[in-house]
Chains A and B, each alone.
Chain A
Amino acid sequence: MSDATASGIASAAARSNRRDIGIKRRYAAERRFKAYGIIAIGIGLCFLAILLWSIISKGYTAFWQTEIRVPITFSEQILGTPEDALKSETKLMMANYPRIARDGLVKLLDIDPSNRKAVTAAGKLISSGTRVALRDIVLKDLSVIGTTQDVWLYASSELDSAMKGQYDLSVPENRRPISDQQLQFIAKLKADGAIAQRFNWGLFTFGASSRAETAGLGVAIIGSFYMMLIVLALALPIGVAASIYLEEFAPKNKFTDLIEVNINNLAAVPSIVFGLLGLAVFINWFGLPRSASLVGGLVLTLMTLPTIIIATRAALRAVPPSIRWAALGLGASKTQTVFHHVLPLAAPGILTGTIIGLAQALGETAPLLLIGMVAFVVNDPATPMDPATALPVQIYMWANEAERAFAERTSGAIIILLAFLAIMNLTAIFLRRRFERRW
């Protein structure tokens, strides 16, 4: 320090002699570069926020469904006696349940049954899906016949949308789906506490329906689940086996180079091409059924394989060679070295790659459209051979519907799909963090 002060003048002279290398400019450039980075990230976050906000603000209402508590009289007149039902279920299956529901509501609202216009208007407040709901109640317990029970019934999508404030009620009556009379009914139901918004379990369990209130993602979730299982069961073992062979055993020559280039190119092939391939090979040639999750799973497997192979090879390459030498030096065979030491160390990387590949496959739509998974499937598929749809395809189908209630369901379905994707990616991150520490 004292040396520096003593020779302060000399060093100042030396400094002035030194060539100007633009220290200030260098720092300015650094600051500018940082600012660009922050701006870029800011723009990205901004768009993400807008996207999430628009989806969530439109879609959160889909998780709530308006229901009406109606005293239902299961009249023997309409349903027949329990004794009749034991002999033949046909009458019970075919009975006019909407009429029962409407009669209940008419009674609840104190409408004169002879006022046909009012009765029809009241009937339109209840979802036609009550047919199935009421039939299930009766079939489950025949003793309800002849009694009167309070039942929560799904409201029609018009009433649901009106309750959620999605209609502009200030326009003239003939320009909105809810009439003034129906508004009066709603006000009365509200006053009685007979109308409520409840959690919409149906969104997760129902299949396809042309009525928004009974349309759900049940079939799509099961279809996507089957496809993920098939992709996992096929792509993971095939991909890992191929990677291990290429990385650890295959000789390095022109042919293996060619394979490597091809795998990397396959990862960049547009997914719709895999759909065409699936249509040509699995459906036309192998004769597998259209719309089946099996075919969807096979197509997505082809699509996911390159991703898994690339991730697995990177994970294998990241295992330090000293571990291989240690095992080989002890007299372990190549296979023992790979399976006892290299593969366990590469496992977190492989799992991460696999989950990211699966997440990609879960969000894939285009190839599924080509193999006919864009279908109106009402019943839950019991096996992967049965017709099914997939989550993103269901979103695509709902987005094409005109009704206001389908718009919120589209966004709701997107929220569910995003939640699945987020869970998968978080799992990938968690696995990587959890297991990477060991090494």
Chain B
Amino acid sequence: MENMQATFNKGRAVQAAIPIKMTSRDVTVHYGQKQALNGITLDIPERQVTALIGPSGCGKSTYLRCLNRMNDTIDSAKVGGEIRLDGEDVYDSAIDVVELRARVGMVFQKPNPFPKSIYDNVAYGPKIHGLARNKDELDEIVHISLRKAGLYKEVHDRLDEPGTGLSGGQQQRLCIARAIAVSPEVILMDEPCSALDPIATATVEELIDELRENFTIVIVTHSMQQAARVSQLTAMFHLGDLAEVGPTEKMFSNPDDKRTQDYITGRFG
């Protein structure tokens, strides 16, 4: 509990003039005839946790999936507008989607480790991206990634056991370790704690706060408390619009938008 409080306090200390990692201008998404996003303009600061909140179906996950072009896998999805990563247009034909996803990693709602060993789960990304020249380097990457994900102590003596045999919280941290292993610049998290119990959630939240030192994190969450605890910037989505964006502290204490106010006080959503 003290930990959470500390996290919360840290979240309050938003510094000014933080460099921007990703920018989006007027991003729209259509699923067939239906428009899911109506022009989102949002800047994502570097090495900060940006929380996307809002009621179900408001488009926050859709927006998140635009950032590493995971929407490409849905046939009917059409993305408009402009998203830039360090100034490069991610939807430009010159950008390779495989390379983009190596730079912008993703952690999903439900822990989805590969049905392989813990080691192979983490080693898969570095292997396909050629990040290790030999077995020793690969071992090192795997160990460092597991350490960063706070999982090493729990699993170091059973790296060759299946990743699917871990508990839900451990599986999610394994997925985070897997994402970290390819050294991404940005990590997208789509409700990473919604399938976890409160204890596992607390562990993952602490982890997210630590990861902020090295990675830019965008997290979609349904939990107001979680957004307040882990994020520095909060964006409120509503029916495909960006209702409000601002420092987390301000959003939860003194929101400008009526919809944000209603949502965080639980009057709808």
Contacts and interface: CB of A to CB of B under 8 A. Distances in A.
Interface of A: 251-252, 320, 322-333, 336, 340-341, 345, 438-439
A329 B75 contact: no
A326 to B, nearest CB: 5
B114 A323 contact: yes
A395 B209 CA distance: 74
Contacts of A329: 68, 70, 101, 105-108, 179
A332 B128 CA distance: 7
B35 interface: no
A328 B108 CA distance: 12
Contacts of A330: 101-102, 105, 124-125, 128, 178-179, 182
A271 B108 CA distance: 48
A9 B24 CA distance: 70
B255 interface: no
Contacts of B128: 330-332, 336, 340
Interface string B71-110: 0010100000000000000000000001111100111101
Interface string B104-124: 011110101111000000001
**Dominant SS among interface residues on chain A:** helix
Contacts, number: 66
B182 A322 contact: no
B75 A345 contact: no
B137 to A, nearest CB: 18
B10 interface: no
B162 interface: yes
B164 interface: yes
A349 to B, nearest CB: 14
Contacts of A438: 115, 162, 164
A322 B113 CA distance: 9
A331 B164 contact: no
23 contacts: A323-B112, A323-B114, A323-B115, A325-B73, A325-B108, A326-B112, A326-B114, A326-B178, A327-B114, A327-B124, A328-B73, A329-B68, A329-B101, A329-B107, A329-B108, A330-B105, A330-B124, A331-B100, A331-B129, A340-B128, A438-B162, A438-B164, A439-B164
Given A330-B179, A332-B128, 8 more contacts: A322-B112, A323-B112, A326-B178, A329-B106, A330-B128, A331-B102, A331-B128, A439-B115
- Chain B contact-residue range equals 20 to 34
B218 interface: no
A328 B182 contact: no
A341 B70 CA distance: 18
Q: Top 10 nearest A-B pairs by Cβ distance? A: A329-B106, A331-B102, A322-B112, A331-B101, A330-B125, A326-B112, A439-B115, A331-B98, A438-B115, A333-B98
B175 interface: yes
B115 A340 contact: no
Nearest to B113: A326
Contacts of B102: 330-331
Contact of B124 (A322, A324, A328, A340): A340
B187 to A, nearest CB: 10
Nearest to A328: B73
A251 B164 contact: no
A333 B73 CA distance: 11
Nearest to A439: B115
A328 B101 contact: yes
A251 B110 contact: no
Contacts of B108: 322, 325-326, 329
A328 B188 CA distance: 13
Nearest to A320: B112
Contacts of B70: 325, 328-329
Contacts of B75: 251-252
Contacts of B105: 329-330
Contact of A324 (B73, B99, B113, B125): B73
A41 to B, nearest CB: 36
Contacts of B114: 323, 326-327, 341
A430 B124 CA distance: 30
B124 A325 contact: no
A345 B116 CA distance: 10
B112 A325 contact: yes
A438 B164 CA distance: 9
Contacts of B129: 331
A323 B75 CA distance: 18
B13 to A, nearest CB: 31
Contacts of B113: 326
B128 to A, nearest CB: 5
Contacts of B124: 327, 330, 332, 340
Contacts of A252: 75
B190 to A, nearest CB: 10
Contacts of B125: 330-331
A117 to B, nearest CB: 79
A341 B120 CA distance: 12
A432 B25 CA distance: 50
Contact of B182 (A251, A325, A331, A345): A331
Contacts of A332: 98, 124, 128
Interface string B122-153: 00110011000000000000000000000000
A345 B101 contact: no
